[in-house]
Amino acid sequence: MVLFLPGRTKAQICNGSLGDPVVKLTFDQASTIGGGSSYVPSDSYMYTNTSCPNDGFYTITNFTTGCFGNSWLTVSADHTGGGLSGGNFMLVNASYQPGDFFVSTVSNLCPNTTYEFSAWVLNVMQPFFPSIRPNLTFRIEKPDGTLLASFDSGDVPVQGTPTWQQYGFLFATPADNAQIVLRLRNNAPGGQGNDLALDDIAFRPCGAKITADIQNSPTDTVDVCEGNMNTYTFSGNASSQYQSPVYHWQLSTDQGINWTDIPGATETTYVRSPTPAAGKYWYRLTVVDATVAGIPSCRIASNLLIVNVHPIPVADAGPDRVYIKGYPVTLLAVASGENVSFSWDPALYMDDPSLIHPTVTPLEDINYILSVQSAFSCSNKDTVNVRVVDGIFVPTAFTPNGDGKNDYWRIPFLDIGLNADVKVLTAGGNLFIMLRLLLLPGMGK
């Protein structure tokens, strides 16, 4: 079975279920761009460190621009969009004679298994410039040269902007030896055109369909709030084509970058217990035939089941305040989280209840409640007390002698919003107390 899928992002060639990439050549492993690359094409191509290689040369880079009188497109990102500081790609200026431009031996594949091979290719020529188009043959061979599968791309189209095209097909590894040779051949001559970029060569095991779902949920994704104590039952189903299936549920907490086996989760169902911390929890069921259960690269995985545990939003109504009549007071609240909305209750005596920092002038002592809710209906609330007083009484003396009488000097109702500057001075053996109230803008006189 051979299938070609041009220009599709995240395209899947396998009609069943896939395992993780056993091999993925991204060209990002170079210790320096180009210089440390371990991907050496055939002898007819030479490495160069320029981002505009000439005919018969290649480089490993993350950008190319202004080449050959701007006849090349400006390419500023690899296939996955890594950009100038991100991933690399292989940039090839075809030799004058057709021939192999990339050859690599691939090991660690599962024997007697169907694999999906895929690669991403970009024609770097500008559309207004008459040019030869790359025309590729992808070959999968045994180490002795025996052909296992091949596919011809036809002409790689010219695009007005950098457009990566995916090419791929399925092949089966030999039962006796899973090592194969990947050979990429450019069938078109060099000269004016036939210049291309290559990225993200991948091999993934392809098996019969595996499905998974969350019982009593219409979708594969559940959104809950931190502290939610619900349990969820996951259920998996593997095709009857797996003769002696071995099951294992896996968890990823970094959105699929790394997967770990869940201890003891080796049945077709798994009950997920509540997780104490917020985060994105991805689950999947892996299946492998018992004959190759000890080889991780043979595993096939189901679709993803996702439980998003969203954090409780921050609701901080701020410190308790004192409203001294004639000096309006502003609440110092904080509301934050995932796209939060908030409300005040009651909204009495507020200049604008839609503000997170409203100014209030109540007639009597009052508690204001700040309620905060995130986009995922996670909620929180906090209360602030505002006390109403006629003014501030400043004691003129105190006796800090430890007799239990007037040992401390306190100024009742001194609010932080007044920005008071308090100083205690001694002069001539007498104790003096000075209080200066610095009025904030808009607080009146």
**SS3 sequence of 78-104:** CCCCCCCCCCCEEEEECCCCCEEEEEE
User: Average pLDDT of 345-359?
Assistant: 95
pLDDT of 391: 78
Whole-prediction pTM value? 0.77
CA distances from 36 to 59, 60, 91 (A): 11, 9, 15
Residue 107's pLDDT band (cuts 50, 70, 90):
confident
Percent with pLDDT over 70 in the chain: 83
pLDDT of 47: 86
Q: Write down the residue that tokens 């320096």 correspond to.
A: 32
User: Average pLDDT of 254-274?
Assistant: 95
pLDDT of 397: 67
pLDDT tens per residue, range 391-408: 776 666 667 777 777 767
Cα 63 to Cα 423: distance, rounded to the nearest angstrom? 64
State the pairing for strand pair 135-141/260-261.
Answer: unpaired
List the beta strands (DSSP E) in 124-277. Answer: 135-141, 147-155, 165-172, 180-186, 195-207, 210-214, 221-225, 232-238, 245-252, 260-261, 269-272
Per DSSP, the three-state class of 199 is strand
Cα 247 to Cα 261: distance, rounded to the nearest angstrom? 10
Percent with pLDDT over 90 in the chain: 57
pLDDT of 431: 44
Residues of the chain with CATH 2.60.40.10: 210-310, 314-389
pLDDT tens per residue, range 13-47: 788 999 998 877 888 765 444 444 445 455 568 88
pLDDT of 42: 55
Decide which of 7 and 93 is more confident: 93
* 134, pLDDT greater than 70: yes
Torsion on CA atoms 68, 70, 73, 76, rounded to nearest 10: 90
pLDDT tens per residue, range 207-218: 999 999 999 999
pLDDT of 178: 73
In whole numbers, what is the pLDDT of the chain averaged over residues? 85
User: Average pLDDT of 93-116?
Assistant: 87
Decide which of 3.40.50.10490, 1.10.3710.10, 1.10.287.110, 2.60.40.10 is the CATH code for 314-389.
Answer: 2.60.40.10
**Quick check: 212 and 303 in contact, CB under 8 A?**
yes
Residue 1's pLDDT band (cuts 50, 70, 90):
very low
User: Average pLDDT of 75-86?
Assistant: 74
Residues of the chain with CATH 2.60.120.260: 17-207
Per DSSP, the three-state class of 277 is coil
One-letter amino acid at 290 equals A
CATH number at 210-310:
2.60.40.10
41-50, 187-196, 319-328, range with the lowest pLDDT: 41-50
User: Average pLDDT of 356-373?
Assistant: 96
User: Average pLDDT of 349-354?
Assistant: 94
**What architecture is the 17-207 domain classified under in CATH?**
Sandwich (2.60)
pLDDT of 214: 98
pLDDT of 378: 97
Cα 307 to Cα 301: distance, rounded to the nearest angstrom? 18
Decide which of 256 and 392 is more confident: 256
For residue 31, which phi and psi values (nearest 5 degrees)? -65, -35
pLDDT of 242: 86
